[in-house]
């Protein structure tokens, strides 16, 4: 059976499956995972005819066949699995708490994510680190913006275990931040360190993001756990244009942090 999967030999695979005594449950599961991971849709469809096949069984990494197909970008496999009726779209990975949608999003794959969502995948599910699929996507260096837009329909302000929202995580990419803000992201939520997205953008010296957040009327006078405003960090880095822009919308240049220093002191 394993060789038939490797060779994508549907005729040989059917012959083996018709002789139930010629393979073990362990071998059947291995072939099932292999077909899902490699994208062998015709072989996988043959395997689905087995009444004793558990579509929701996990491998040693806690991944189901649906997760493997999502992770490897096999949209046709996803459709075949979900059309069977036995496949649980929101089955959690035992090790990470992630569902198949998390795996599709981590692969930045729009089509796989779309098919999972059409089948009822819950985009608000958090993994063991508190990340929704949108949070995982926002953390990527080059997130698929069409996919990001698809995921903004629910829990856009969900926070992970560190208190970070999608806007915190995408504060390194102006176009992603703009999309989230336009979709209703709250620019004033604070993470576990008290940082807003404006703090993150200021700490990283990302002027375009700072201006974008100001344009969407974020609160510029929120202090983090160190008593620092975004202005404190901008002053440290000498980002005068951003300091001026924040000052024009009410930024307090005289507010002191826990070291009793104002942004003006840091700018000297």
Contacts for 175 with CB less than 8 Å, ≥ 6 apart: 145
Closest listed residue to residue 121, CA positions, set 151, 76, 86, 166:
151
Residue 40 forms part of a structural domain = yes
Spatial CA neighbour of 178 closest among 127, 205, 138: 138
Q: Do the domain assignments include residue 172?
A: no
Instruction: Answer for the pair 35, 27: CB distance below 8 angstroms, yes or no.
Output: no
CATH number, residue 64 = 1.25.40.20
Which helix or strand (DSSP H or E) is residue 64 part of?
A: none
Residue 43 lies in a domain: yes
pTM of the model: 0.91
Residue 117 falls within a domain, yes or no? Answer: yes
Domain span at 91: 1-122
Instruction: Output the tens digit of pLDDT for each of the chain's 268 residues.
Output: 667 666 676 777 777 777 766 677 888 888 899 999 988 898 889 889 887 889 999 999 999 999 999 999 999 999 999 999 999 999 999 999 999 999 999 999 999 999 999 999 999 999 999 999 999 999 998 899 999 999 998 899 999 999 999 999 986 678 899 999 999 999 999 999 999 999 999 999 999 999 999 999 999 999 999 999 999 999 999 999 999 999 999 999 999 999 999 999 998 8
Residue 182 resides in a domain: no
Residue 183 within any structural domain of the chain: no
Tell me how far CA of residue 87 lies from CA of 59, 60, 83, 246, in angstroms.
15, 19, 8, 52
197-203: long-range pairs with CB below 8 Å, 24+: 197/165, 197/167, 197/168, 197/171, 198/222, 198/230, 199/224, 199/228, 199/229, 199/230, 199/233, 200/168, 200/171, 201/171, 201/177, 201/230, 202/230, 202/231, 202/233, 202/234, 202/237, 202/239, 202/242, 203/233
User: 59-80 b/e with 16+ CB inside 10 Å = b?
Assistant: beeebbbbbbbbbbbbbbbbbb
The number of distinct structural domains making up the chain is 1
Please check whether residue 160 is in contact with residue 126, taking contact to mean a CB–CB distance below 8 angstroms: yes
Of 66, 2, 79, the closest CA to residue 36 belongs to 66
């Amino acid at each position: 059976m394993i060789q038939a999967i490797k060779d994508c030999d549907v005729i040989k695979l059917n012959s083996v499956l018709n002789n139930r005594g010629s393979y073990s449950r362990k071998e059947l599961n291995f072939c099932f995972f292999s077909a899902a991971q490699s994208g062998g849709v015709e072989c996988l469809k043959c395997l689905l005819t087995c009444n004793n096949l558990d579509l929701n069984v996990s491998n040693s990494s806690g991944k189901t066949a649906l997760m493997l197909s999502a992770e490897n970008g096999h949209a046709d496999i996803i459709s075949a699995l979900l059309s069977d009726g036995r496949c649980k779209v929101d089955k959690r990975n035992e090790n990470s708490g992630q569902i198949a949608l998390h795996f599709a999003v981590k692969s930045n794959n729009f089509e796989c994510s779309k098919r999972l969502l059409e089948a009822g995948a819950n985009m608000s599910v958090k993994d063991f680190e508190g990340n929704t699929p949108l949070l995982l996507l926002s953390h990527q260096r080059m997130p698929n913006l069409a996919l990001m837009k698809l995921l903004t329909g629910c829990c856009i302000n969900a926070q992970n275990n560190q208190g970070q929202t999608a806007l915190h995580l995408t504060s390194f990419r102006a176009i992603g931040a703009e999309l989230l803000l336009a979709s209703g992201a709250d620019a004033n939520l604070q993470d576990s360190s008290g940082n807003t997205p404006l703090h993150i953008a200021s700490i990283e010296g990302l002027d375009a993001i700072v201006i974008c957040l100001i344009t969407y009327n974020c609160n510029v006078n929120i202090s983090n756990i160190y008593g620092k405003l975004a202005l404190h960090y901008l002053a440290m880095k000498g980002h005068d244009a951003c300091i001026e822009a924040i000052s024009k919308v009410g930024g307090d240049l005289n507010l002191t942090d826990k070291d009793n220093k104002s942004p003006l002191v840091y700018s000297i």
